[in-house]
């Protein structure tokens, strides 16, 4: 990924994370005096004829206190991020392309389970988890109780969070950890 399209964490004036923009957008905001840098790279620079700017990691908006409203949706990306790209069954962390989404209660069993026991929807945060291909195949259309498998507690998602759920790995990679609430 080239430096200009690397992600930058944007905080509003109350230091709450509100979005993720590209380095290019962040530098525009900085040059327009709409934001200030809170954290930047020590050894990566954007250079032009007249400028040499360290790549920003986190910027703080000036005079912007709003929190945008957004509802986070279940998707491959948001589930993988929530589970930190780790198979919930075996705790392995293969390449993201080798990870799949697994329905804890599979489609073929969904109708059999009485309505009283369904505390959530089929395609919901509660029923979808990250699984490696091996575990997904082994699980097939079985229930966890039949396999005697247990899964760790799934991270709770704040669906009304203004920013997409960010995995710990990503937060660490770009130096955002101290600005997010883990």
Using DSSP's 3-state secondary structure scheme, residue 100 falls into strand
Beta carbon of residue 126, minimum distance to Zn ion (angstroms, whole number): 19
Nearer to Zn ion, 73 or 98 (CB): 98
Beta carbon of residue 130, minimum distance to Zn ion (angstroms, whole number): 9
Binding residues among 120-159 for Zn ion as defined by CB under 5 A: 132, 135
The two beta strands, 52-61 and 7-11, are: parallel
How many Cβ atoms from other residues are within 10 Å of residue 178's Cβ? 11
- Number of residues forming the site for Zn ion (CB under 5 A): 5
Binding residues among 5-44 for Zn ion as defined by CB under 5 A: none
How many Cβ atoms from other residues are within 10 Å of residue 81's Cβ? 20
Binding residues among 82-111 for Zn ion as defined by CB under 5 A: 87, 89-90
Give the CA radius of gyration of the chain.
Answer: 20
Instruction: Enumerate binding residues for Zn ion (CB under 5 A).
Output: 87, 89-90, 132, 135
């Amino acid at each position: 990924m080239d430096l200009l399209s690397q992600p930058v964490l944007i905080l509003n004036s109350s230091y709450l994370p509100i979005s993720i923009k590209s380095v290019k957008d962040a530098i525009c905001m900085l040059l327009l005096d709409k934001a200030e840098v809170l954290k930047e790279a020590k050894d990566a620079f954007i250079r032009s004829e007249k400028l040499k700017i360290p790549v920003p990691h986190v910027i703080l908006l000036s005079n912007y206190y709003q929190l945008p409203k957004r509802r986070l949706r279940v998707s491959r990306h948001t589930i993988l991020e929530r589970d930190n790209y780790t198979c919930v069954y075996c705790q392995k962390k293969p390449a993201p392309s080798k990870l799949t989404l697994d329905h804890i209660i599979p489609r073929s069993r969904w109708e059999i389970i009485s309505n009283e026991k369904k505390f959530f929807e089929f395609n919901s945060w509660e029923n979808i988890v990250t699984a490696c291909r091996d575990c997904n195949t082994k699980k097939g259309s079985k229930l966890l109780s039949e396999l005697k498998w247990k899964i760790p507690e799934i991270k709770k998602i704040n669906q009304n969070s203004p920013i997409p759920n960010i995995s710990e790995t990503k937060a660490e990679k770009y130096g955002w950890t101290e600005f997010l609430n883990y």
